[in-house]
């Protein structure tokens, strides 16, 4: 833990407005008082978050506020300086990280595919490594191509021979290959044109519902946050400033920062292009 010049501010999200689903079997993902510092500066202040099974939580917030750091912490790529991460009741630590990582699908903005492998080989990589028999791998890939509506021909091309939307569908297939308990997506549609994004949003929401996955997604797009999020968490400078439904954030902003953030998107057709919530 680096030496700090200041103590982190208090930890709780304000206000806790969301009627978060709380099934008896506890959260799928629990972050308890986790914090992270780089170079003596807190990039994530002590934060406590529970994500319940089968729900979708969306993280929004300005660039650099710690959204990706939080996702990386859940998937075990970044170790917290304090606090604990628990996945499906199991604490994430050096002994459990490789096992738990296999139970979490992780999708990044450009899909993160290996350029020298075909789509099929990218999707099947980990299953091969784990010793799955080839027919089982083929059957699972066919099932996932169907689920994500990826054309079969795209499976045997290299990432550079595919569109951004197809690459992203492959990234999602790869994340789902081992049927993970949870799915983390870091701005999965940010680089796509609006029509492709629209289709993929529809498909993803259908997939989340059909598979009952627990999902944590980062986006900069407020419409997307509302479309997917059972709960939306707005982060600012390393802490959760408000959590709730998107409606809560719009109609009962916790402070001026929240009000400005949710108003700061342009919508075509509105006079002057101002955000729909600007007042």
Ligand X SMILES: Nc1ncnc2c1ncn2[C@@H]1O[C@H](COP(=O)(O)OP(=O)(O)OP(=O)(O)O)[C@@H](O)[C@H]1O
Residues of the shown chain interacting with ligand X in the complex, contacts defined by CB under 6 A: 38, 43, 61, 63-69
User: Closer to ligand X at the Cβ: 158 or 257?
Assistant: 257
Q: CA-CA distance, 164 to 144, in Å (whole number)?
A: 18
CB of 235 to Mg ion, least distance (A): 10
CB of 68 to Mg ion, least distance (A): 3
Residue 48: other Cβ atoms inside 10 A: 14
User: Closer to Mg ion at the Cβ: 56 or 148?
Assistant: 56
* Antiparallel, parallel or unpaired: β 214-218 and 41-52: unpaired
109 interface partner picked from ligand X, Mg ion, none, CB below 5 to 8 A per type: none
Binding of residue 245 to Mg ion (CB under 5 A): no
CA angle 205, 207, 212 (to 5 degrees): 100
How many CA atoms, within 13 angstroms, populate the side-chain half-sphere of residue 217? Answer: 29
Stretch 37-76 residues interacting with Mg ion (CB under 5 A): 68
CB of 268 to ligand X, least distance (A): 23
43 interface partner picked from Mg ion, ligand X, none, CB below 5 to 8 A per type: ligand X
Q: Is 75 within 8 Å of 51 (Cβ atoms)?
A: no
User: Closer to Mg ion at the Cβ: 70 or 249?
Assistant: 70
User: Closer to ligand X at the Cβ: 69 or 86?
Assistant: 69
Report the residue count for the chain. 279
Question: 40 is written with which tokens?
Answer: 């003596």
CA angle 200, 219, 7 (to 5 degrees): 160
User: Closer to Mg ion at the Cβ: 68 or 118?
Assistant: 68
Q: Which residues bind Mg ion (CB under 5 A)?
A: 68
């Amino acid at each position: 833990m680096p030496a700090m010049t200041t103590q982190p501010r208090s930890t709780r999200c304000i206000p806790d407005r969301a009627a978060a689903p709380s099934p008896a079997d506890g959260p799928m993902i629990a972050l308890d008082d986790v914090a992270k510092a780089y170079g003596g500066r807190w990039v994530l202040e002590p934060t406590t978050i529970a994500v319940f099974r089968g729900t979708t939580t969306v993280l929004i917030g300005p660039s650099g506020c710690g959204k990706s750091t939080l996702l990386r912490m859940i998937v075990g790529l970044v170790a917290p300086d304090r606090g604990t991460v628990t996945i499906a009741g199991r604490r994430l630590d050096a002994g459990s990280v490789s096992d738990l990582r296999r139970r979490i699908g992780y999708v990044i903005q450009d899909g993160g595919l290996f350029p020298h492998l075909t789509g099929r080989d990218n999707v099947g990589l980990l299953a091969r490594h784990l010793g799955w028999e080839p027919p089982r791998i083929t059957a699972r890939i066919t099932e996932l191509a169907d689920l994500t509506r990826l054309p079969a021909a795209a499976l045997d091309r290299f990432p550079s021979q595919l569109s951004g939307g197809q690459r992203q569908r492959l990234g999602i297939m790869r994340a789902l290959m081992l049927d993970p308990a949870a799915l983390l997506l870091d701005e999965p549609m940010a680089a796509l044109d609006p029509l492709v994004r629209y289709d993929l949003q529809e498909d993803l929401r259908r997939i989340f519902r059909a598979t009952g996955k627990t999902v944590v997604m980062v986006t900069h797009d407020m419409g997307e946050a509302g479309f997917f999020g059972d709960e939306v968490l707005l982060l600012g400078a390393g802490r959760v400033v408000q959590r709730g439904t998107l409606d809560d954030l719009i109609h009962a902003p916790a402070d001026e920062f929240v009000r400005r953030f949710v108003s700061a998107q342009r919508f075509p057709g509105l006079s002057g292009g101002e955000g729909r919530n600007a007042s």
